Copies of this chain bind each other. A is one copy, B any other.
């Protein structure tokens, strides 16, 4: 039978090498060596290299989105909720630097098309609801919701990068620049 965690080993090896060398400078053969398996074995788990890239991207994106986009407890104010989501996101990014870098690389590469992005629509619902509600109740500025969503995401990414580089323990002061930027 297919061995327990071979797919995970391929994922881990690919992620490490993609981030180190770039996707296109990482050969399937190299991935297989890093994963400690034969080249052909990768093709038992993935149709081809693009399929591997896509599935890796999806797996990572879902992981972060599941963290960020979990349904909130009823009692939370929208500011608190945003802060909680943002903090969780930062923590994930700081603890998964490779995953974070790969996600960024892929998102602006030609490997990331609309079809791929469409898979995550569901996850965005929580965040979208939060933003729409906060605009309506005049907690957020009256900006296009998509712009606010983009801003949140970009600011998160930017902060993760800064924290990863400087290893600072600060969090709250960075979050404040986001909140002050978008709050009414």
Chain A residues proximal to chain B, CB less than 8 Å: 20-25, 101, 104-105, 108-111, 141, 143-144, 146-147, 150-151, 154-155, 157-159, 161-162, 166, 168, 173-174, 176-178, 180-183
Contacts and interface: CB of A to CB of B under 8 A. Distances in A.
Looking at chain A's contact residues, the main secondary structure is: helix
A120 B155 CA distance: 23
A20 B151 CA distance: 25
Given A141-B177, A181-B180, A150 B146 contact: no
Contact of A105 (B109, B143, B162): B109
Q: How many copies does the complex hold?
A: 4
A158 B162 contact: no
A87 B23 CA distance: 34
A177 B182 CA distance: 6
Contacts of A22: 24, 109-111
Given A24-B22, A105-B108, A109-B105, A174 B147 contact: yes
